Amino acid sequence: MSKSPDFKTALLMSTVLSLLRKDIRLFLRNKVAFGLTFIVPLVLVYIFGQVFGVNRSSSGPTGVPIAVVNESDAAVATAIIEAMEAESAFQVIHTWEDAAGVEQPLTADRARELIRDNKMRFGLVFPPDTMSEERFGLRLIFLNNPRNEIETQTVTGLLQKVIFTSAPQALMTSLKEQAESYIGTAETTAFYDGMARTISDAFDLKYETVRADMEAGVMNFGADDSASEEGKADSADASSFIDQIVAIENEQLAGADVKSPAATRVVGGWAIMFLLFSVSGASTALFEEKQAGIFHRLLASPVSRSHILWSKYLFNMLMGLVQLTVLFIAGQIMFGIEVIPHLPSLLVVALCASIACTAFGMLLSAIAPNPAAASGLATFLILTMSAIGGAWFPTSFMPEFIQSISKLTLVYWSMEGFIAVLWAHKSIFEILPILAVLLGMAAVVNVFSVWRFNRGNLFE
């Protein structure tokens, strides 16, 4: 009785499909699993979307790389750059590596290119006319390719903090010199007198103090060093005054037309985390079937271990695909993420992400000795991977050594994929490397899992 290969393939397909149909039926009947897969993440995405939309995160990024190009000879530029270097939240970058691996000084155009290519996220350019005779004040160009509103806001805020609080002396001195050369010493003194009077009136401060501070180049007019509540309010007011002197031109180099980048991260992050929970839950179903002795019944039928594993794999993949799609469409409804126009690419990314996540779930049931161990391990790994993989906040918020671990997580690459498609509007062709990483991870993990399944006692 030798059967043709076609017949065997058909039989294999029908066996796997029967098992798959059974898994879908069981899933739809399991209200807890259904709720955890769709309802809970929807609610969380909604809540976190609101939170991130309304309150900006107050903790600053640590060591955000920022390309700095100084084309001006103004002393204030050097002073600001020094202050930025002193600020631990920034990692100031002046050079780039060319194809030969040789460090080259950055130019403004090169910085733009790096940012456009996603190699850098932010840049600050001091143009030749940072200080100009034609204009009163400073001119800076802030380059950015934000993945996310929160990140951009935080970086911009930090930059302002550095410029306004750490470099006022240089700024004031430069301004004074500039003013003197522009309008003459006597006039400058008169101008300062007038301005001090205006400031002291406007902010209800003592004229003498403001005038003395101005001469010394101190910018937090009259506030005492004990930093009282009032003092803080004063320096905030002073900052808004400075705001008008320093002109930062914002130059966004990618993702310019996306409505809600933060929402993309929130939805993608929570979706991928819950996908991991769902697949690990579905994989513990393998243990339940083992305990119920169902594998004995199945394996005594014309069903092999690989049929069972394939059907589980397909089921998890499908569930993941549906879950991600549903959550992103909900994201469109709740936050206006542009999902529908990019649906084909998104589906491809979601499929690859599901395949990788399913591999993770299967790995759990391959290595864990029992369901309790599997779910404990799952919770630990999922939370860790989500945190360091950038599901909760951008990876650039984290210390550098964690950022390097991020890239080992499938969460990171899934997020990269979602953001590339929904935020940077990359085509499928452009995101092929990301997809390759996801599928490659899945392949490696699967090979290991199959090896374990064949040695383990899951099917005994």
Partner 1 sequence: MLTISSVSKSYGSLTALSDVSLDIAPGEFLGLLGPNGAGKSTLMSLISGLKRPDAGSITLNDISTTNGDHQARHELGLVPQNIALYDELTAEENLQVFGELFGLDHKTLRERITEGLSAVGLEDRRKDRVKSFSGGMKRRLNIIAALLHRPKMLLCDEPTVGVDPQSRNAIFELLEKLNREGLTVVYSTHYMEEATRLCSRIAIIDHGKILASGTLAQLLEQLPSAERIRITRSDASLLALPELEALGALVTVDGAHTLAVRAGTQLSTVFQVLEKHGVASAGCTLTRPGLEDVFLHLTGKAFRE
Please report whether residue 370 would count as binding partner 1 according to CB under 8 A.
Answer: no
Rounded to an integer, what distance in angstroms lies between the CA atom of residue 348 and that of residue 315? 17
Stretch that binds partner 1, among 63-71, 134-142, 302-310, 422-430 (CB under 8 A): 302-310
Q: Is 237 helix (H, G, I), strand (E, B) or coil?
A: helix
Among 1, 32, 100, 102, interactor with partner 1 by CB under 8 A? 1
30 part of the interface to partner 1, by CB under 8 A: yes
Structure-token pair, residue 49:
């979307």
29 interacts with partner 1 by CB under 8 A: yes
205 near partner 1, rule: CB under 8 A = no
Nearer to partner 1, 26 or 439 (CB): 26
**Residue 1 vs 186, nearer CB to partner 1:** 1
Can you tell me whether residue 207 is helix, strand or coil? helix
298 binds partner 1 (CB under 8 A): yes
End-to-end CA distance of the chain, in Å?
29
Enumerate residues 108-167 that contact partner 1 by CB under 8 A.
Answer: none
Rule CB under 8 A: is residue 455 a binding residue for partner 1? Answer: no
The smaller minimum CB distance to partner 1, of residues 267 and 285, is found at 285
Cα distance between residue 345 and residue 135, in whole Å = 48
Stretch that binds partner 1, among 148-156, 296-304, 391-399, 423-431 (CB under 8 A): 296-304
Cα(458)–Cα(460) distance, integer angstroms: 6
- Per CB under 8 A, 314 contacts partner 1: no
- Residue 352 CA to its chain's centroid (Å): 19
Cα of 142 vs its chain's centroid, Å:
19
- Could you write out the DSSP letters of every residue in 288-335? HHHHTTHHHHHHHTT--HHHHHHHHHHHHHHHHHHHHHHHHHHHHHHH
Question: Which of the ranges 82-90, 117-125, 144-152, 301-309 carries the binding residues for partner 1, by CB under 8 A?
Answer: 301-309
CB closer to partner 1, 95 vs 291: 291
Least distance between partner 1 and beta carbon 285 (Å): 10
| Least distance from partner 1 to the Cβ atom of residue 363, Å | 24
Alpha helices by DSSP H, 217-300: 229-245, 261-291, 294-300
For residues 250 and 413, give the distance between their C-alpha atoms in angstroms, rounded to a whole number: 29
**Residues 4-23 vs partner 1: string with x where CB under 8 A?**
-------x--xx--xx-xx-
Nearest to 360 by CA among 374, 370, 342, 341: 374
Scanning 173-181, 270-278, 285-293, 346-354 for contacts with partner 1 by CB under 8 A, the matching segment is 285-293
Rounded to a whole number of angstroms, the minimum distance from the CB of residue 316 to partner 1 is: 18
Q: How far is the CB of 295 from partner 1 (least distance, A)?
A: 8
User: What whole-number distance in Å separates Cα of residue 159 and Cα of residue 144?
Assistant: 12
Distance CA 239, CA 222 (A): 13
Report the alpha-carbon distance of residue 60 to residue 396 in Å, rounded. 10
Q: Name the residues that contact partner 1, by CB under 8 A.
A: 1, 11, 14-15, 18-19, 21-22, 25-26, 29-30, 291-294, 296-304, 460
